[in-house]
């Protein structure tokens, strides 16, 4: 059985803005795509259904994202889960992401005929950097984070975990 993360990538222009912000804060350029994870499906999906289900759910998510055209407004930079630096969303963005998460939960249940479910312990955030320890760069990132306080979420994707 496989696990899957369902995400919405930040627009190409905003990918560049985030990398510039990290560089200005003293962090290194990131090659991965910055994104907001919309939900997780934990070790429920059979290997033989993984790719086809991923393609189907991403197609449905893309329709919803295109309809809503979400904007990720930043509240602040935080150290989360003891290993990541992330931008947490504003209250408005958090409401939008939570609504999208509920929609996604229903859609996963519908498409899987209730065999799989989204983890309900969702915490909306945008991962910027992985680390076990904070240093002075974090404080600089917090301050610089307000220079570009919002990011367009555009392209959906799934990631095997």
Q: Contact 138/85 with Cβ under 8 angstroms?
A: yes
pLDDT tens digits, one per residue of 136-146:
999 999 999 88
Give the CATH superfamily of 2-160: Cyclic phosphodiesterase (3.90.1140.10)
pLDDT tens digits, one per residue of 63-114:
999 999 999 999 999 999 899 999 999 999 999 999 999 999 999 999 999 9
Q: Domain residue spans in the chain?
A: 2-160
Radius of gyration of the chain (CA): 16
């Amino acid at each position: 059985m496989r696990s899957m993360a369902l995400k919405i990538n930040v627009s190409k222009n905003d990918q560049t803005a985030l990398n510039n912000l990290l560089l200005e804060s003293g962090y290194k350029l990131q090659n991965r795509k910055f994104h907001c994870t919309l939900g997780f499906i934990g070790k429920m999906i059979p290997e033989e259904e993984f790719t086809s289900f991923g393609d189907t759910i991403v197609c449905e998510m893309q329709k919803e994202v295109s309809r809503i055209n979400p904007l990720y407004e930043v509240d602040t930079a935080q150290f989360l889960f003891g290993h990541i630096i992330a931008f947490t969303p504003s209250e408005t963005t958090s409401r939008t992401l939570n609504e999208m998460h509920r929609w996604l939960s229903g859609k996963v249940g519908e498409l899987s005929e209730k065999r799989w479910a989204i983890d309900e312990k969702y915490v909306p955030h945008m991962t910027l950097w992985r680390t076990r320890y904070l240093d002075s760069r974090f404080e600089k990132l917090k301050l610089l984070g307000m220079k570009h306080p919002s990011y367009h979420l555009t392209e959906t994707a799934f990631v095997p975990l």
